[in-house]
Amino acid sequence: MLGKGEVSTGEISEDVEEETNNKHRDILFFDAPYHTDQELSYSLIKDSGENMDLPRGMLSIASHLKEKNISSDVIPLDSQLYGRKDEFVTDGKFDPAKFEQAIEQIIDEKIDFSNPKAVAFGLMYTFVEPVVLQMTRHTKEMHPDKYVIVGGNHATFSDLELLDPENNTGIDIVVRFEGEETTEELMAELQMSYPDLSKIKGISYRDGSGVVHQNPPRERADLNQMPLLDYTIIDSPEGLDKFNQTAMFLRGCRGNCAFCTSPKFWNRELTKGRVENFEKEITYLAQNGVEIISVLDDDILASEEGFNLIMDSLERVKEKFSEIKFIAQTRVIHLKDKEQCQNQLDRMKEVGISRLYLGIESGSQEILNEMSKGSKIEWVEQALRNVHEAGIETGGFWLFGHPGATKEREEESLQFMEKILKNGLLDDIEAHDVVPFPGTRIAQDPRAQIFDHNKKHYGLLNNYPVYNLVDPETGNMILSADEIKGFLDRSLELRKQYLGIERDIANKPN
């Protein structure tokens, strides 16, 4: 079990750990594997052994449930599989069939040991849907008395499809949007002899007749009522204890980007948690050897109050761990005016933010307008200069193939990328093709003619477009998937040329 070190203020005794290991669980949470799945990650085993990040959402739900006396384990399947890699990797060769068998064996072992009322699977990312459905179908077949639940970003916007009886997914319930309070109420109801799911906000479910119901959404949670993440709930093999490399204070984003699920998921509203929990979590990570922590807030400058609270916390942690570094992200619009942002940038530098990522996304104003970025090209260079002059490294997010793109506009975007690279204004670039994730406006855009429906390819690591851009009225091709990939490839070559960053393993599938 994780958490043998300090969780917040004290040690976990051997007696408590022994009791925890042998206690019946009300619900098990399984985090889908993707580092150990060769097709998903293209970096089999490496990441899960070196840089595995724990499922924050599940851990938050499980920590909340624990306060309500609802017991659970959070089981990251990557670490479980990494400890059994000899079962599906022989002489460096990956065996997909044995990989599936290993997943199913782990699920069966955990369910048989804990005998939970419900089994939940994280479906945060679209690209893990195929492996999650393998797990839900197996669970329902082998353990038909268990409620099978999924939740997460992708599940929220795919609930009707996931529950459709014709798809035979084995899923009984989808938890939509934030899951802490919904799962608490759901677990209480599932203890009843005749559960009434119709009254639980924030879920979709299939009743005994096969009819799918989509209940009203739940109000946003009061994060000040949420406890500190409890790492003792994580179930990982001995010797594979891992810790998050991330922390989060604000949930939500005020942006309205067409390629992002955030506007629909968070309704462009912000909620903040307990600042003391945020600070304790960062301290806990630093105590356990994490040297660079990413602040996961979508926009660290979205709220003046939130920004100041974050800075105060980072400063206090920095005083205790002088070598710790932080990474954060924000929007270009906040940094376009040097006089207005100088104090904020100086503060970031003081507390140890070593790199700040900006959502640049494109060097074409027309494409930015299509994205609803609310940004202007002329702001980008000044924003990057402002960050650099404050002594902070810069990173930029970039996308290719967004609806509204043309060959001419993407050429313009590449030229702009090269210009700012030549001028030394970027220290890193994360470039990807656009993915039509459920819940985004582009998923419904008729200009994106999707031809690849394999959900395993719907991830930012794939870098192979799943659609062509066409004129919906004439059907004429505007930009083919091959052409989109060509622009992406050229951007990565520019990154290598100017920054010396080799093409990622994830960009080179077999």
Domain segments of the chain as ranges: 14-214, 245-434
How does pLDDT run across 224-279, given as a tens digit for each residue?
A: 999 999 999 999 887 666 667 899 999 999 999 999 999 999 999 999 999 999 99
| The CATH number of the domain covering residues in 14-214 | 3.40.50.280
Indicate if 245-434 has the same CATH topology as 14-214. no
* Angle at alpha carbon of residue 333, lines to 331 and 338, rounded to 5°: 110
Q: How confident is the model at residue 43 (pLDDT cuts 50, 70, 90)?
A: low
DSSP annotation of 8: S
pLDDT tens digits, one per residue of 416-444: 999 999 999 999 999 999 999 999 999 99
Rounded CA separation 60/66 (Å): 10
359, two tokens: 């959502």
Give dist(CA 62, CA 50) in Å, integer: 25
Domain 245-434 is in which class? alpha beta
Instruction: To the nearest 10°, report the CA torsion of 326, 327, 329, 335.
Output: 70
N- to C-terminal Cα distance for the chain? 35
Task: Say if residues 432 and 459 touch (Cβ distance below 8 Å).
Answer: no
Written as six digits, the tokens of 378 are: 């002329």
Q: Mean pLDDT over residues 162-186, rounded? A: 98
How far is the C-alpha of 3 from the C-alpha of 38, rounded, in Å?
A: 29
Residue-wise pLDDT for 359-412, tens only, equals 999 999 999 999 999 999 999 999 999 999 999 999 999 999 999 999 999 999
> What is the mean pLDDT of the segment spanning 300-322?
97
What phi, psi does 294 have (nearest 5°)? Answer: -90, 125
Task: Let me know the angle formed at the C-alpha of 228 by 222 and 232, rounded to the nearest 5 degrees.
Answer: 135
Chain mean pLDDT for the chain: 91
**Greatest pairwise CA separation for the chain in angstroms:** 71
CA 459 to CA 129: how far, in whole Å?
Answer: 11
Check pLDDT > 60 for residue 32.
yes
> pLDDT-derived band of residue 22, with 50, 70 and 90 as boundaries?
low
| pLDDT score of 74 more than 90 | yes
CA 189 to chain centre: 29
276 vs 46, more confident: 276
Q: Where are the beta strands (DSSP E) in 145-297?
A: 147-151, 173-175, 203-206, 212-214, 246-247, 250-251, 271-272, 292-295
Whole-number Å distance between alpha carbons of 254 and 303: 9
Torsion of CA 367, 369, 374, 377, to 10 degrees: 50
DSSP string computed for 50-69 = H-----HHHHHHHHHHHHTT
Mean pLDDT of 490-504: 90
At 92 the pLDDT is: 79
Q: Which of 87-101, 281-295, 336-350 has the highest mean pLDDT?
A: 336-350
Q: What is the pLDDT of residue 126?
A: 96
pLDDT value of position 174: 98
Is-contact 393 355, C-beta < 8 A?
yes
Q: How is residue 331 written in tokens? A: 């929007």
